[in-house]
Structure 1
Amino acid sequence: MKSFFSNQFINKTSLILLSLFSFSLTSCLDKEGEAPEPTPVAYVTLYHGAPDAPEFDILVDNQRLNSQPFKYNNYSDYLRFSTGSRKFKFTPVNAANSYVDTTLTFKENKLYSVFAVNRLQDMEVLVVSDTVMTPAAGKAGMRIIHLSPDAPAVDVATTGTTGTSITTNLNFKEHTLFKDVATGNQTIQIKRTGTNEVLLTLSDVALTAGKSYSLLLRGFQTPPTGNTNILSGQVVTNY
């Protein structure tokens, strides 16, 4: 995944987020040389999927995470977060007011995808628990996440002789589990649910055996005046 967090910054962020836990653990030691217990962590990736929202900063427990403005379609690698309740803010760049101000809870050794979604005036956070799966031999795994605020419910399938239905009747802010699909260069069609109306066709989507992918349906079916973020699909590799 694309990284907007330098190694130095990730290490600094991890230290900030884990410092409270580290302090409490080391302060409880009663024998010299005794190693502290491992600090519980979760793994979180972040994605900007709000198609009319400007670039923003991401603050966790009032510490800025991003090393540069986080733009539409930007996403991060999985970052280590201390478990429990974390206070999240999406704010204008270098500003104090918030587009989103919420609290998210993470569990030990779990993986999460956190999406900024919806129109700017209604921007919110969508949290998806990422289930690690191993595709069947010779297959890839794929899930669909519907992030378009004005697109209808959709049916999604690969085409051709190895065509597979991945999902039907998927609405905004809904997502599927991973499903086995054929590998190689695939064509994926996204249709209005229950019809033959093709909303979007993705050609030559390269899928590798043993890999798992997320297909993100994003943008506006009917963009507001001046907005160029049209309905599109983005395929990202999960693992």
Structure 2
Amino acid sequence: MNDSEAPAPAEYSYASFYQASPDAQNFNILVNNVRVNNDLFGYSKFYIYQNFTPGTYNFKFSPATTTDPGPSVEKSVSLEKDKVYSIFTIGLRSQTAASGKGQEVLVVEDELEIPATGKAGIRVIHLSPDAPSVDIKTVGTTPNTLFSDVAYKEDTDFMEVNTGNVKLNLVHSETGEVLFTTPNELTLSEKQIYTIIVRGMVTPPANNTNSINIQLYRNYPDR
């Protein structure tokens, strides 16, 4: 190569990881059978986007302890150049795959467009395996419905909303029952992009405290 030539820019795909299975043991993350996590991948753990050379990868989530082995879940995923993905472990270890609520790997392609001035971007992903379809509404005298009738495993498009602090209600789409209210205001900042995760269980089993709630995390900037 001529010394004056600049090297070709690197080509990458990007993937983040989130553990949403509310009755799972801690996992290790294996990418093509190589462990990539330094700490335990436990419930509600989120890892920001990582760079990957485009190609097909096997993502395996393997029990991190031999005292509570549980099942492994895995999925082969084709990661395309310049595309962004979120990879979730979801479902219940106590349920079978045939029920539609067993443990599995869910992959979502993220469309990250920087919001307009004065706006933030937000979406919702429903990962509570025993919950009905839900609405996300603001709390107040005139509540605003941000998202409606979101079913289990469904992800919405990102939408632009006004920046600022907001409290949210998680509402049963059919009955209007409030399933959860954020205890504190959530901050939505200008030109940043967020995901609302509906997680946990409406009826957790004995000795499990992972009741249904919502978690907000920032997709972009991711640091």
TM-score (ref. length: structure 2): 0.86
Q: 1:116 aligns with which of 77, 82, 89?
A: 89
Q: Determine whether 1:59 maps to 2:30.
A: yes
Please report how far the alpha carbon of residue 32 of structure 1 lies from its aligned counterpart in structure 2 after TM superposition: 8.3
Measure, in 1, the Cα distance between the counterparts of 2:129 and 2:91.
5
Q: Determine whether 1:171 maps to 2:142.
A: no
Measure, in 1, the Cα distance between the counterparts of 2:164 and 2:2.
57
Q: 2:73 aligns with which of 100, 104, 114?
A: 100
The unaligned stretches of length 5 or more in structure 1 are: 1-30
What does residue 97 of structure 2 align with? none
What does residue 191 of structure 1 align with? 171
Q: 1:82 aligns with which of 23, 47, 53?
A: 53
- Deviates most, 83-92 or 159-168: 159-168
Identity of aligned residues (%): 40
Structure 1's 159 and 108: CA in aligned 2 closer, same or farther, altered over 3 A? Answer: same
Structure 1's 235 and 97: CA in aligned 2 closer, same or farther, altered over 3 A? Answer: closer
Measure, in 2, the Cα distance between the counterparts of 1:135 and 1:101.
34
Please report how far the alpha carbon of residue 108 of structure 1 lies from its aligned counterpart in structure 2 after TM superposition: 0.3
Measure, in 1, the Cα distance between the counterparts of 2:52 and 2:46.
16
Aligned length: 209
Higher-helix-fraction structure: 1
Is the CA contact (8 Å cut-off) linking 1:89 and 1:98 kept in structure 2? no
The unaligned stretches of length 5 or more in structure 2 are: 95-101
3-state SS in 2 of match to 1:72:
coil
Is the CA contact (8 Å cut-off) linking 2:138 and 2:167 kept in structure 1? yes
Measure, in 1, the Cα distance between the counterparts of 2:145 and 2:60.
37
- Please tell me the residue identity of whatever aligns with 2:189: T
Q: 2:40 aligns with which of 69, 92, 111?
A: 69
Is the CA contact (8 Å cut-off) linking 1:140 and 1:180 kept in structure 2? yes
TM-score (ref. length: structure 1): 0.80
Structure 1's 102 and 196: CA in aligned 2 closer, same or farther, altered over 3 A? Answer: closer
Measure, in 1, the Cα distance between the counterparts of 2:126 and 2:9.
37
3-state SS in 1 of match to 2:48:
coil
Residues 70-112 of structure 1 show CA distances to partners (whole Å, capped at 9, x for unaligned) of: 1111111110112121011111116699511321111001111
